[in-house]
C-alpha cells in the first residue's frame, strides 16, 4: 500500500486579497475529505511566534530587525509545529510563509534578495510548501475590500505604491517557481475562486485527496 503523504499548503497575497476567506473554505474541504489538518499563520503559529507577531505588527522598528523577527518566528513555527505535524501525517495549511518576506520585506521595503535567500536557507534548509496559492488582485480593489472589513495594522497602513511593489514581487516569485505556485485571479467572485482552488487541489494531490 502506498503511504499517503501529508502536504504543506500556503496562501499568499496582498492584504485584502481574500486569503483568510478562502483558507477557511479550503480547510473545510480538506477536513471533509478526511484529512487531519492543522491550520496556522505567520507571523505566529506558536506561543512565542504570536508574541513576535504582536510586536512586529504594531511596534516601529528597523526593516532588517523586522525581517529577522519574521524569520525567527518562522523557525520556531517550522521546527516546533509544522514539521512535527507533517511527520505525524497531518496536512498543514498556513496563512503566509517565506514568500511574504520576499514580497513585503524584499519587494515592499527593499531588503536585498540575497539576505532573504540566506535567511530562507538558514531557517528552512530545503523545506518549503508543496503548493502555494497566490491570491492576486489589483491594489485598489484590495484596499476597498479592507476598508469595508477592518481597521488597519502597521502593514495595512502602507500606501498604494508599497502594495504595488509587494504584488509585483509575489508575481515574480510565482513566475520563477511555476511548479509550486498557482496564481489565482482574486478579483473574481468567491464561487469562481473556490472552483479553481478545488480543481487545483484535485489535480495536484489525487490520489491523496
Ligand atoms: P486577506 O486575508 O487576504 O487580508 P480577507 O479574506 O480578510 O483578506 O478578505 C478581505 C475582505 O474581502 C473580507 O471582508 C472578505 O469578506 C472580502 N472578500 C474576500 N474575497 C472576496 C471576493 N472574492 N469577492 C468579494 N469580497 C471578498
Ligand atoms: P496577515 O496575517 O495576513 O494579516 P491579517 O491578519 O491582518 O490578515 O499578515 C500580517 C502582516 O504581516 C501582513 O501585512 C503581511 C506581513 N508579513 C510580512 O511583512 N512578512 C512576512 O514574512 C509575513 C509572514 C507577514
pLDDT tens profile 67-120 = 999 999 999 999 999 999 999 999 999 999 999 999 999 999 999 999 999 999
Give dist(CA 70, CA 43) in Å, integer: 6
**Residues 42 and 49 sit within 8 Å (Cβ to Cβ):** yes
For the CA of 74, the nearest ligand: 2
| Amino acid 196: pLDDT | 97
Query: Where do the domains of the chain lie, and which CATH numbers do they carry?
Result: 8-205 (3.40.50.300)
Cβ(41) – ligand 2 distance below 6 Å: yes
Asked whether residue 4 carries a pLDDT value surpassing 80, the answer given is: no
Q: What is each CA distance from 64 to 49, 67, 92, 101, 105, in whole angstroms?
A: 18, 5, 28, 11, 8
- Sheet of 8-13, strands arranged across: 37-41, 91-95, 8-13, 131-136, 181-185
pLDDT tens profile 26-58 = 999 999 999 999 999 999 999 999 999 999 999
Nearest CA to ligand 1 atom 6: 18
Q: How far is the CA of 136 from the centre of ligand 1 (A)?
A: 12
Asked whether residue 205 carries a pLDDT value surpassing 60, the answer given is: yes
Asked whether residue 21 carries a pLDDT value surpassing 90, the answer given is: yes
| Amino acid 1: pLDDT | 37
Amino acid at each position: 500500500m502506498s503511504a499517503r503523504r501529508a502536504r504543506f499548503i500556503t496562501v499568499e497575497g496582498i492584504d485584502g486579497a481574500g486569503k483568510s476567506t478562502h483558507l477557511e473554505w479550503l480547510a473545510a474541504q480538506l477536513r471533509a475529505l478526511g484529512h487531519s489538518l492543522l491550520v496556522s499563520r505567520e507571523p505566529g503559529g506558536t506561543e512565542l511566534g504570536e508574541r513576535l507577531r504582536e510586536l512586529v505588527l504594531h511596534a516601529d522598528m528597523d526593516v532588517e530587525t523586522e525581517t529577522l523577527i519574521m524569520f525567527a518566528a518562522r523557525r520556531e513555527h517550522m521546527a516546533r509545529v509544522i514539521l512535527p505535524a507533517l511527520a505525524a501525517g497531518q496536512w498543514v495549511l498556513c496563512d503566509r510563509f517565506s514568500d511574504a518576506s520576499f514580497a513585503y520585506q524584499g519587494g515592499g521595503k527593499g531588503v536585498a534578495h540575497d539576505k532573504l535567500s540566506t535567511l530562507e536557507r538558514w531557517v528552512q534548509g530545503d523545506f518549503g510548501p508543496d503548493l502555494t496559492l497566490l491570491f492576486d488582485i489589483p491594489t485598489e480593489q484590495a484596499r476597498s475590500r479592507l476598508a469595508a472589513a477592518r481597521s488597519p495594522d502597521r502593514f495595512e497602513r502602507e500606501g498604494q505604491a508599497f502594495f504595488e511593489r509587494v504584488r509585483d514581487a509575489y508575481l515574480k516569485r510565482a513566475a520563477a517557481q511555476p511548479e509550486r505556485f498557482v496564481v489565482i485571479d482574486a478579483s473574481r467572485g468567491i464561487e469562481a475562486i473556490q472552483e479553481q482552488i478545488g480543481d487545483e487541489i484535485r489535480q495536484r494531490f489525487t490520489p491523496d485527496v
